[in-house]
Structure 1
């Protein structure tokens, strides 16, 4: 079963507790756009940041989420 945008946001926040997460459906019920802002991304490459988000999503990324357009960043001071 495909998670809702709200459920996806909760999963990411469990893995990255300080994260500000915005998740939206953009096509059908399994294509998502997500923006994640977290201090945990500081000093990490974009690929490493994305891997952190994928790790928080766990098996959902392989099984229930068909497509994810992901944007990550650190908080602005």
Structure 2
């Protein structure tokens, strides 16, 4: 489990996604407060949601987009993130 402060986690998530996808739109939210008391929240990892628009997603399936986001976040998926809601699309796609 990571001892990173929640704001530091948000910054690290944002930095990783910006580096991997050079998004034209990126919103990262900490939704952990919505899951207080949830079994998955007890280990200190958080619940997050990501809205990202990047040319990197053009022509890719939803599953492929999600996998690439997980890959970009790497170890954070096991040390800092318990749950991640992803809305990934290419420019011009409705969201």
Give yes or no for TM over 0.5. Answer: yes
Q: What is aligned with 1:53?
A: 69
Structure 2: stretches of 5+ with no match in the other structure:
34-44
Structure with the larger strand share: 1
Distance of 1:30 and 1:69 partners within structure 2? 11
| Equivalent position of 2:21 in the other structure | 16
Aligned pairs (5 A) from 1:1-77 = 1=2, 2=4, 3-28=8-33, 30-76=46-92
C-alpha distance in 2 between matches for 1:20 and 1:55? 19
Write the distance in 2 (CA, Å) between the matches of 1:8 and 1:24: 10
Q: Where does structure 1 lack aligned partners over 5 or more consecutive residues?
A: none
How many residue pairs match? The answer is 77
Which TM-score applies when normalising by structure 2? 0.71
RMSD over aligned CA atoms reads 1.9
- Structure ranking higher in helix proportion: 2
